Structure 1
């Protein structure tokens, strides 16, 4: 049976993660942190690989979060520890912030180090002790790395005395996090994940125009329609920096250059055929996916605004087909999850995230959740694969400072 996934009206899970971070900080440093900041993972309802093409995306934040309990230092030293699923703390070697440089830090510590490196360029290099705790599944395509980076960015900014960021500042922080991911960690990600983690709100999906930065909060209350979004984590890990993600991005950038465009966003549906005819064969599927996916985002938003949520299923299906056949980023595990979910009553299903593993989502009737979950689990067992992890996703709040309910100083 899928795990429960509480929404923001029930903040118990969020408070528990913050309390775990505070307790781990106290155990590590023998004092209370100055504060706790947290950021969520995300599910992208639709709009995949459109973000780095200046297009449209439609994510929502998960209740699963990464919390950063942090205290300021005055010696420009950054220490970072993370609390594992087994309850053990793993500490990175202390880092002197002015000495940080790309490729100098390996493993998970590169993510917080990259954020500190970028913020040092903004004059924020005082130093900090940070302890991380959270429950965003790693390697699941649910943006655990960006949740970590956003939590660390807000913590370092908060410790530097920066006020709670407004929308324009959140957009800037998202770009800083992208800079850290692209140029320090070496993963060529777009702006979807950071922006979703920072700007999503409870009970809404975020309709984001990546080019302009304009975003609308579109109501998304699946439960009111008797529906749920079931997340199926295939538990097959992927890495953007080591996979074909970069190849796809370079391909779309090359196609835009050949067409004399700033980005593939500039191709409307009515101009797709002519654009494809002007490109070499190997680039046509990439372009076809991006252009049709942008249109699918617009179509889903239109249906949601018309209170026709149950009708978005075919668009989710078409998105998966496009990612499987044109963008070629799906996997047998993802395809099986999508196929079995559909065969057992899902209104629509697709892989979500960067691809090459990770998670699928399915729009399902509440009455069918357990049936679909059991069918997918059995299909994986029959295939000889590790059982998937499933949960019902509830659109939740974005990143921010946690209230002082867990013993942190204000």
Structure 2
């Protein structure tokens, strides 16, 4: 594999997956070669494959997926890559940069309370979901390296789930599981084994790749519309800015959003807000407030507004109306701040890093582009669409306050979870 890599045999595939130029192809070659060497050092020489799953950016629909609504999302050029090979046993061994080595037995695939919140829970959950689909999952060895930091807002957990799913699918399922199925498997692992309530957006964006408009009305068969979008042609770049506040321990805040939106839907005899008529919500507002409380009402109002914006955002991209897209992004950001209220944790209101980061970004843009909270919120990152002629000044201004490397200029990656080579 290393010979194929160094000889340029994989360059075409690397270019396809990452939309990479010659410099990026060379750096990706070096990264993959180092991973192959690491695998050989840890597990010995083997006929191993290379696998990748990207981080994701949420472009529209903030906290709409868990209510079976619409989302607009894209995979980004930052990813997790693995070198992996079957080992002929029932034991899975994974070594990941910066984390303790992981080992588990595929003969024991029940949820383990001691593993809640760990990578082992995600691996065990993925394997359980695959075996439930009738496949025999064996053991394998893997080394993983990541450009998607935990707590970065780019959904490192979903990338990890999809990456493990791609490995298992290739080694034990003849690649028969579809990208949608792999996303559903990842969500199952995160909800049931890892212990974090989540919608399906993160996994779908990582698994499918590119920009996609997804309707989750039927999560077993989500409607997926690929969106042909060239960021460069828009005259803007996509920036993800790390606020410096870690969102790794905010499960209760995320769960409260799901619970409160659910309380409103149950008031109307429905399970999800996407099943509730918006007109009925507004007509019944006094009773809803009395039954669920004002924060739940505001969060439901956000859902109705943001859910309606997503198809308009998708249409604006398809039709080349980028200024209209930016206006919808701004409206989404205002709604998240005022109604969804996911800029800071109420447990520590003195710490409002996301709000400060948004304010700084808005100041630097001076009325151009658009900014909004990104992903789950409360900490983590914001998203900014920055005019190309302001990109370097914007990055420098954000980094000057938040620290070097806080502002990343990303591009949309066309490929989702993939086998790079085997």
Q: TM (normalized to structure 1)? A: 0.87
In the other structure, the counterpart of 1:105 is: 115
* Equivalent in 360, 363, 374 of residue 352 of structure 1: 374
In the other structure, the counterpart of 1:289 is: 302
Deviations 1:174-199 (A, max 9, x none): 11111100010001011000000011
> Where in structure 2 are the equivalents of 1:138-287 lying within 5 Å?
138-163=150-175, 165=177, 169-201=178-210, 205-212=211-218, 213-239=222-248, 242-280=251-289, 281-282=293-294, 283-287=296-300
* CA shift for structure 1 position 58: 0.5
Structure 1 residues 104, 397: CA separation in 2 closer, same or farther (over 3 Å shift)? farther
* CA shift for structure 1 position 234: 1.6
* CA shift for structure 1 position 240: 6.4
Structure with greater proportional helix content = 2
Structure 1 residues 127, 163: CA separation in 2 closer, same or farther (over 3 Å shift)? same
In the other structure, the counterpart of 2:13 is: none
* Equivalent in 364, 380, 389 of residue 367 of structure 1: 389
- 1:314 maps to 2:320: no
Distance 1:80 1:45 in 2: 32
- Please tell me whether the aligned partners of residues 75 and 416 of structure 2 are also in contact (alpha carbons under 8 angstroms): no
- 1:399 maps to 2:416: yes
Deviations 1:358-381 (A, max 9, x none): 11111111011122223333444x
* CA shift for structure 1 position 17: 4.1
* CA shift for structure 1 position 59: 0.7
* Equivalent in 36, 48, 61 of residue 62 of structure 2: 48
Distance 1:137 1:113 in 2: 21
- 1:21 maps to 2:35: yes
* CA shift for structure 1 position 291: 0.7
Gaps of 5+ in 1: 1-5, 381-385, 405-409
In the other structure, the counterpart of 2:5 is: none
* CA shift for structure 1 position 65: 0.8
Task: Give the SS at the match of 1:350.
Answer: strand
Gaps of 5+ in 2: 1-16, 345-351
Structure 1 residues 286, 221: CA separation in 2 closer, same or farther (over 3 Å shift)? same
In the other structure, the counterpart of 1:120 is: 131
Distance 1:237 1:124 in 2: 38
Distance 2:36 2:131 in 1: 25
- Please tell me whether the aligned partners of residues 140 and 234 of structure 1 are also in contact (alpha carbons under 8 angstroms): no
Q: Which is bigger in relative contact order (C-alpha 8 A, separation at least 6)?
A: 1
Distance 2:47 2:146 in 1: 16
* CA shift for structure 1 position 285: 0.8
- Please tell me whether the aligned partners of residues 247 and 378 of structure 2 are also in contact (alpha carbons under 8 angstroms): yes
Deviates more, 1:240-249 or 1:287-296: 240-249
In the other structure, the counterpart of 1:337 is: 357
- Please tell me whether the aligned partners of residues 243 and 356 of structure 1 are also in contact (alpha carbons under 8 angstroms): no
Q: TM (normalized to structure 2)? A: 0.84
Task: Give the SS at the match of 1:279.
Answer: helix
* CA shift for structure 1 position 275: 4.7
Task: Give the SS at the match of 1:395.
Answer: coil
Report the aligned-residue RMSD.
Answer: 2.2
Distance 1:254 1:116 in 2: 33
- Please tell me whether the aligned partners of residues 151 and 399 of structure 1 are also in contact (alpha carbons under 8 angstroms): no
Distance 1:237 1:215 in 2: 31
* CA shift for structure 1 position 164: 5.6
